[in-house]
Amino acid sequence: MKKVFLTFVFALLSVVGFAQTVWQVDPMHSSVNFNIKHMGISFVQGRFDKFDGKVTTQGNSIDGASMSFMVDVNSINTNVEMRDKHLKSADFFDAEKYPQMTFESTSITKGKNNSYVLKGKLKIKDVVKEVSVPVTFGGITKNQQGKEVLGFQTAFKVNRLDYNIKYDPTGAGVAKDVDVNLYFELIRQ
């Protein structure tokens, strides 16, 4: 009987130890931002207002987590309607044909302190490329409603020409590299 009980306890601990936790993006406390150099002398800033994503962890750590995110290209917002319309056109994102950008993680590796290196597949338009980005893990706490929330941020560059965003291929008017800044707060499900 004792042997059966111990087997049951070990089995239960194994299940609990490997239990997955799903965290869903809280759009009210997250943002997807970018800026790009214009004419070599200034920057245009923008954001995407609609996005979603989830992180699946083993407990309360992002070690070994899997992440997936989606951005609605039609939600691009630079606060200039004419420019936003142009960015949605075939010159840039071709939002009618490619309405979403996606990211699927392949690995996450812990660095020093709260820093990590996140690797995955970034899809923009019809191109999928492996990327490696730094992540700063903010930690886990409880929000005002008592729900657990997880936070992290990342900043990286994307060469738009690598993703068939070929308008002004010289980069003289619109730079080739885009600075991307992501801030995510996710709610435990």
Residue with tokens 């691009």: 76
Name the pLDDT band for 14 (thresholds 50, 70, 90).
Answer: very low
* Dist. CA 152–CA 67, nearest whole Å: 12
Q: Based on C-alpha coordinates, what's the Rg of the chain?
A: 20
* Dist. CA 62–CA 66, nearest whole Å: 8
- In the chain, % of residues over pLDDT 90: 88
Q: Give me the mean pLDDT over the 32-37 stretch.
A: 98
Residue 12 has a pLDDT of: 44
Residue 19 scores a pLDDT above 80: yes
Predicted structure pTM score: 0.88
Q: Give me the mean pLDDT over the 114-128 stretch.
A: 97
- Confirm if 52 and 70 have CB atoms less than 8 A apart: yes
Amino acid identity of residue 37, one-letter, is: K
Name the pLDDT band for 147 (thresholds 50, 70, 90).
Answer: very high
What 3-state DSSP class applies to 185?
A: strand
What does DSSP assign to residue 100? E
Q: Taking the mean position of all CA atoms in its chain, how far away is CA 26? A: 12
Residue 139 scores a pLDDT above 90: yes
- Going along the chain from its start, the domains and CATH numbers come out as 20-188 (2.40.128.110)
Question: Cα dist. 131→33, 85, 104, 166, 189 in Å?
Answer: 18, 28, 10, 20, 28
Q: Give me the mean pLDDT over the 159-171 stretch.
A: 97
For the chain, the residue count is: 189
Residue 81 scores a pLDDT above 70: yes
